[in-house]
Amino acid sequence: MYSPVICVVGLGYVGLPLAVEMSKYFMVIGFDINAKRIETLIAGTDPNKEVEDDVLQKARIQYSANPAQIGDSDFIIVAVPTPVDAHNKPDLTSVIRASETIGRSMRKGSIVVYESTVYPGVTEEKCIPVLEKLSGLTWKKDFFVGYSPERINPGDKVHRFATIIKLVSGDTPETLAKVAHVYGTAVIAGIYKAPSIKVAEAAKVIENIQRDINIALMNELRIIFDKMGISTRDVLAAAKTKWNFLPFEPGLVGGHCIDVDPYYLAYKAEELGHHPQIIMAGRRINDAMSKYFAREFIKKLIATNIKLNDAKVLILGITFKENVPDIRNSKAILIINELKEFHISVDVWEPVADAGDVHEQYGIMPVAQPKPGSYDGIVLAVKHQEFVNLGPDGIRKFLTQSGILYDIKEVF
């Protein structure tokens, strides 16, 4: 029976839950270049709140920031970010550096499995040459490679690592069998074997492209219905009574997946001479929504005879989605920046993310508790459960007598 020592490289939102689940069945080494992160995990706490402290403290994981310990394993899983740069081009820096680190440390016979989202071809064309160069080993002779894309949904306590069908692939039939066995041991939902690494890479990237395009459609409908003076929420509620209507909603599309992945496939398509029109149309719509919501809110302030230079506004939420502390690629910050262009004073109330992290990344220190009756306007940007529980009346107590509540998600 194949029972490898597993090393998970990258212990963030994806890697840590994976390592915890794998540790129930295998010996696991958890590696991360962030020594502070390793210290926190050794202390038994996950600041990302993806793994509960009691679960984390019971997990049999050997944490390390020492790359040499990667060599103590023979099944290495790479779970590092793959963002885009300032020009929306794929930024493979983290996955290439992870490959370099692994290449310097891995031993003969190892299997390296990538989970990071990439365009088709990255694993074989970008990562494997790095592994070969730094290790001095030969691919498919001395080491082997697989690809099994992550499908973690941050903050989702139902769709977890073990309960989502795992897509796996390998460079040889033998590698595929071993990769399927390892993941199949821990994933109760089952395994799907892709016929090639490129197919698995492509399948992952289009999962989020499909969501992006569907949300873009909802956002365009929101703009149209706003002009008509009817509630998008009411329209969608009526449309959902048909059995095959897809229940997507308008809103801000941020984070590290949905608004990033389309650019990966678009980049590769352009490289091949094809301009992906639908994919990029969806991106243009979703990228423009922060400015749209900010401008609509400003119009409402003006219509209420509130002077913009004197206006004080409270933004509710700055994470990229509700009920998670992840502030990467927040679109709420774009609303804030747009309001500041009009010299509006802006406070942020963020009860889920760490205030220090918000200040470090965006230069904004969230208020611990807003002062009642002190804001000319409030923008509900992120529907954290705490805000939903307050209800519209509970939120309005922070407004001045003539102040307005702008509910982006039409929660209320």
Active site residues: 257
What's the rounded Cα separation, in Å, for the pair 218 and 311?
30
- Closest by CA position to 152, among listed 44, 332, 282, 10: 10
Distance CA 282, CA 286 (A): 6
Between CA 32 and CA 80 the distance in angstroms is 9
Question: Strands across the sheet with 399-407, in order?
Answer: 345-349, 312-316, 375-380, 399-407
At 47, phi and psi to the nearest 5?
-60, -25
Collapsed DSSP state (helix, strand, coil) of residue 76? strand
Q: Are 4 and 75 in contact (CB under 8 A)?
A: yes
Distance between CA atoms of residues 17 and 115, nearest Å: 13
Cα separation, 223 vs 42, in Å, equals 48
Residues whose CB is less than 8 angstroms from the CB of residue 39 and which lie 6 or more positions away in sequence, other chains included: none
291 by Cβ neighbours in 10 Å (0-12 / 13-18 / 19+) ranks as middle
Is residue 76 within 8 Å of residue 142, measured between CB atoms?
no
